[in-house]
Amino acid sequence: MNRRSVAIATGAVVAAGVGAVAVGVGTIFAGLLRDAFRAEQAVDDGPDELLSAPSAEPQRIAVTTVDGARLNVERYGPDADPDADIVVMVHGWTCNVAYWYPQINHLAETRPVVAYDQRGHGRSDLGRARPTIAMLGQDLDAVLAEVVPEGRRAVLVGHSMGGMTIMSWAAQNPEKVGTLVSGVALTSTAAKAVLQNHLLIPVDLPRYTKPFEATVGKLFTSTPMPIPHTPYGARLSHYIALGPNARRSHVEFVDEMIATCPPRSRAGWGSAMGKLDVTAGLDALTVPTTVIVGTDDRLTPPVHAEQMAEVLQRNGNLRELLVLDGVGHMSSIEAGVRFNEILDEILADTARTSSSVG
């Protein structure tokens, strides 16, 4: 066979391979869209007051990270009790400080609450360094150094990538956990293999699509394409991020947050999560830790919560594993009232513990 024949044959093989990938990936995306648009539409029962922007303006604190990026940190609420724990809330991928409005509106009248925009989200810089999971923990460390005075402690609440942030911080700073933190809530999150254990792929697809599922996961999380804010996009956001019976106000709120996340940031952090393994952080969480997940969470399904709870239980640091029925990935929005009750219980427990130690 001459060179020209070899080149033609090679080109044909490559073209066939590319075609097979296109068919496999296309079939998966088509199935996902089919299920999203067949699903029940969100319940239109009016606005949710918990999602309103807090009436009081926050104190804005600019925190500079180790590599020079500036993070937008917002502090709400009074600091009347110098012994009270400071609630520090860490949002997830494609979200921003507004994700925590239901909790800020509930807590900020009586205690200090801090929330910040993760790198590349909201008002925070992305910085020039390539996003990594270790960087998330380093950023949280910079925030804690700024907002938790000497002698005080924090209750850390993390959602999705925010939970990964807390575990990353604990893995890198195990000596600080017991002295700086009194309790942790890990919500709708995972310690490892997050892209290998999602439930986004429809189960009734042809067998030939199986080898392409990992490719779809990478395309979904790591492609820096703009996401337009449209009614069709909202249907997809509902299917992916919220439970089947979610309220329309919740779906629209979440869809707008996702659409406003810069594509470069979304892709950078999506790629970073593909290499997730912060199980060492679970071992370092030596304070009472609550794990929360929704039964209908497609992005970080209950198997992740169960795995984390098992490690924490083995180490004697699991406060409780809570599974919220009918709730999707955006648990603290979808089940805002119940989530706030859980936070109240956590804060009451930490206050009792601090009082008995004192």
Residue range 124-134: mean pLDDT, rounded: 95
Dist CA 302 CA 297 (whole Å): 7
Question: Is 51 in contact with 102 (CB distance < 8 Å)?
Answer: yes
pTM of the entire structure?
0.90
Band the pLDDT of 28: cuts 50, 70, 90: low
Residue range 244-273: mean pLDDT, rounded: 94
Dist CA 43 CA 246 (whole Å): 6
The per-residue pLDDT for 216 is 62
Lowest mean pLDDT among 35-44, 102-111, 178-187, 252-261: 35-44
Lowest mean pLDDT among 63-72, 91-100, 197-206, 335-344: 197-206
Dist CA 177 CA 171 (whole Å): 9
Dist CA 95 CA 285 (whole Å): 25
User: For 11, left (φ over 0), alpha (ψ -120 to 50), or beta?
Assistant: alpha
Residue range 240-267: mean pLDDT, rounded: 94
Give the pairing type, strands 154-159 and 289-294: unpaired
The per-residue pLDDT for 62 is 87
Structural tokens at position 64: 């500079």
The per-residue pLDDT for 41 is 86
For residues 231, 244, 224, 228, the Cα torsion angle rounded to the nearest 10 degrees is: 10
Does residue 115 sit in helix, strand or coil? strand
User: Residue 4 corresponds to which amino acid?
Assistant: R
Q: Is the pLDDT of residue 358 over 60?
A: no
Lowest mean pLDDT among 75-84, 247-256, 287-296: 75-84
The per-residue pLDDT for 9 is 35
Question: Is 186 in contact with 163 (CB distance < 8 Å)?
Answer: yes
Among residues 180, 94, 134, the alpha carbon closest in space to that of 278 is found at 134
Contacts of 153 (CB under 8 A, 6+ apart): 85, 86, 179, 180, 181, 182, 350, 354
The per-residue pLDDT for 58 is 95
Give the pairing type, strands 70-76 and 113-116: antiparallel
**pLDDT per residue as tens digits for the range 73-103:** 999 999 878 888 999 999 999 999 999 999 9
Residue range 98-109: mean pLDDT, rounded: 97
Domains and CATH numbers, the chain: 49-194+258-356 (3.40.50.1820)
Band the pLDDT of 195: cuts 50, 70, 90: confident
Contacts of 49 (CB under 8 A, 6+ apart): 105
